[in-house]
């Protein structure tokens, strides 16, 4: 039986050398993790853990055909396969790079993808479109950038979950977040990723704690954002009780604004609610947010 260890080591050294030349970082784990022989990273910063799982294969096709087999479970959007082909007495380097969208086109059998490699692969240029060149390098960069973008989006989703948790706590405990959490939400939430009821909830918090907050800019932004939407509640409301009411003397532009904390019956069930009236004599927004995340929103002019 042929010992493939020298060829595998030659392949590893060759691949790592190429990765180093394109300003990417790599690590060689002590064990195979999700099919990754090496882990490729772009930068050492807060996004370091965003990586590419790279597997490498070395094959000597000097005298006979060969094949590559990859487990289907390994093939994710951040998986890359490097194939190093060797021909005796040929001093050229033949390194090929396959991404997940390449591998899924291979033959799939018993949960494994298989690529058959002819001993004439180099001569017949069968795999030339997969040669590791500048186009493949740019795709590596692109995958790493997408991993970071996905990570950032996950963070935004977790922040969005924090708003929902605050609404759930309000429902359970009858307590709204304090000014510290309200300020954090205003400073850290990207409103491109929020739902409308979450925007209204934060607008109510900003209004309620506006005297403690360092910035009033969020109020003005919220008005213009919410004025573009209308929505209706589907159920019946009755037995409205005003628990507390807030007004703000400094709201010169929106001098007819107020926030009411309510208890009411909605579809024959008791709920907490927030009613925000936001505007002046010429135009205003009226928002009613129920603690089950249902929302009525009207722009009136």
Per residue in 290-299, pLDDT (tens digit) is 999 898 888 8
Show Cβ contacts of residue 186 under 8 Å, excluding neighbours closer than 6 positions: 202, 205, 206, 213, 215, 218
- Tell me the C-alpha distance between 121 and 105, whole Å: 18
The mean of the pLDDT values for the chain is 82
pLDDT at 1 over 50: no
| pLDDT given for residue 98 in this prediction | 96
pLDDT at 47 over 60: no
- Tell me the C-alpha distance between 16 and 43, whole Å: 16
Per residue in 241-297, pLDDT (tens digit) is 999 998 876 666 777 788 999 999 999 999 999 998 888 888 888 899 999 989 888
Read off the pTM. 0.51
The gap between the terminal CA atoms of the chain, to the nearest Å, is 85
pLDDT band at 156 (very low <50, low <70, confident <90, very high): low
CATH 3.40.1350 domain residues, the chain:
5-132
pLDDT at 31 over 70: no
CATH T-level assignment (fold) for domain 5-132: Trna Endonuclease; Chain: A, domain 1 (3.40.1350)
Residues of the chain by 3-state class (helix, strand, coil), percent to 5:
35, 30, 35
| pLDDT given for residue 37 in this prediction | 78
Per residue in 91-144, pLDDT (tens digit) is 888 999 999 999 999 999 999 999 999 988 888 899 999 999 999 999 988 888
pLDDT at 48 over 90: no
pLDDT at 151 over 60: no
pLDDT band at 234 (very low <50, low <70, confident <90, very high): confident
pLDDT at 196 over 50: yes
pLDDT at 65 over 50: yes
């Amino acid at each position: 039986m042929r010992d493939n260890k020298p060829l595998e080591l030659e392949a590893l050294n060759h691949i790592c050398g190429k990765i180093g030349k394109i300003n990417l970082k790599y690590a060689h784990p002590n064990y195979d993790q999700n099919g990754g022989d090496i882990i490729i990273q772009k930068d050492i910063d807060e996004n370091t853990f965003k990586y590419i799982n790279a597997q490498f294969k070395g094959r000597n096709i000097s005298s006979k055909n060969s094949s590559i087999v990859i487990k289907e479970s390994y093939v994710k959007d951040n998986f890359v396969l490097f194939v190093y082909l060797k021909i005796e007495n040929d001093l050229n380097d033949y390194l090929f790079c396959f991404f997940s969208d390449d591998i899924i086109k291979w033959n799939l059998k018993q949960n494994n993808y298989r690529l058959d490699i002819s001993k004439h692969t180099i001569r017949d240029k069968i795999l030339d479109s997969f040669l590791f060149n500048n186009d493949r390098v740019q795709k590596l960069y692109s995958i790493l950038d997408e991993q970071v973008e996905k990570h950032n989006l996950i963070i935004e989703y977790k922040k969005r979950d924090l708003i929902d948790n605050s609404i759930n706590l309000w429902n359970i405990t009858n307590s709204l977040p304090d000014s510290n959490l309200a300020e954090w939400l205003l400073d850290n939430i990207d409103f491109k990723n929020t739902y409308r009821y979450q925007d209204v909830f934060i607008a109510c918090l900003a209004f309620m704690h506006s005297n403690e907050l360092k910035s009033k800019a969020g109020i003005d932004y919220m008005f213009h954002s919410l004025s573009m939407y209308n929505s209706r509640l589907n159920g019946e409301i009755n037995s409205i009780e005003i628990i507390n009411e807030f007004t703000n003397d400094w709201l010169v532009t929106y001098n007819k604004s107020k926030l009411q904390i309510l208890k009411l019956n909605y579809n024959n069930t008791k709920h907490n609610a927030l009613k925000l009236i936001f505007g002046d004599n010429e135009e205003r927004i009226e928002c009613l947010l129920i603690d089950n995340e249902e929302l009525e929103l009207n722009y009136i002019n």
